[in-house]
Amino acid sequence: MPVIFYPLLPRCLTVKKSLINTIAVFGLSLFTLTAHAEQANGANGMNMANMKMDPAEMKSSGAMGVNEGEVKFIDQARKRITIKHGPIKSKTVEMTPMTMSFPVQNAPLLSSVKVGDKIKFNMENKNNVAVVTSLSVQK
C-alpha cells in the first residue's frame, strides 16, 4: 500500500477523504449497534410468520423431537437461552435453521450448560410459544 503524504495533497482532497472516513466510521458504528440490539432482544419483534406452531394439530402432549444446536447466549434473569439450531420439524412446530432465543421451562436447566456447548434439546408448544423443556450437553 503506497504511503500518501497529506501535506502534498490539495486541500479539497484532504477534506473529501476526511468526510468519507467520517461517514464510513459512522455507518459501521450504526451497523454494529443495530446488530447488538437485535442480539440483546433475542426473538422479540422477530417475524415468525413462516414458523408453524398450531396447537390444534397436537396429537399427543405436544412434545417435539430431539433437536441439536449450539448455545449462543444464556439469560438467567429472563429464563431464556439463545440457540443456533438446525431445522426443526415436529407435529406442532416447524422452523428453518436459525439462531433464536427460547424460554426454558425450568431455570435450573440453564445451570447445566454454558455458551459454546453443543446441546440436544426438547421443546414443547406451550400457549403458542416454543419452550425448551429439557436439554443436555453433547459429548
pLDDT at 57: 47
Report yes or no on whether pTM surpasses 0.75: no
pLDDT bucket at 64, cuts 50 / 70 / 90: very low
Query: Cβ(67)–Cβ(100) under 8 Å?
Result: no
What percent of the chain is predicted at pLDDT more than 90?
Answer: 31
3-state secondary structure of 32: helix
In whole angstroms, give the CA distance from residue 117 to residue 22: 40
- Higher-confidence residue of 99 and 6: namely 99
CB atoms within 10 A of CB 96: 11
